[in-house]
Structure 1
């Protein structure tokens, strides 16, 4: 693993993964919501958050028809 974290020493096989990990130490949140200003460390978290503002619910239960903004909420619902 050629990409070590300079803070904790954890090693990564990809530079991008190490860069994302470093944000956790540095408190960097480069992805900002245009609607409310909330900030995120990862793009996909911002995308999920934006569904709060848009009302989009792309995940649908095939049993009851319930709709969810986040896939993890559908998975939890299915259990």
Structure 2
């Protein structure tokens, strides 16, 4: 796995997967739930999708 996390031992085959993983370490949260009145915010778009189900 050519893309290695510098914070933990995880490795990834694609750079985009590493970048998504790095956000879990930094606490950066880009994805807000679109439901009015819901204040949930997530680091990954797929987590918002799962939250919506």
Q: Same fold (TM over 0.5)?
A: yes
Taking only aligned residues, the RMSD between alpha carbons, in angstroms, comes to 1.6
| Runs of 5+ consecutive residues of structure 1 not aligned to the other structure | 51-68, 70-79
Correspondence for 1:2: 2
Number of residue pairs aligned between Structure 1 and Structure 2: 51
1:14 paired with 2:14, answer yes
Q: Which has the larger radius of gyration?
A: 1
More relative contact order in 1 or in 2 (CA 8 Å, sep 6+)? Answer: 2
Provide the C-alpha distance between the structure 2 equivalents of 1:10 and 1:46, rounded to a whole number of angstroms.
23
Correspondence for 1:75: none
| Runs of 5+ consecutive residues of structure 2 not aligned to the other structure | none
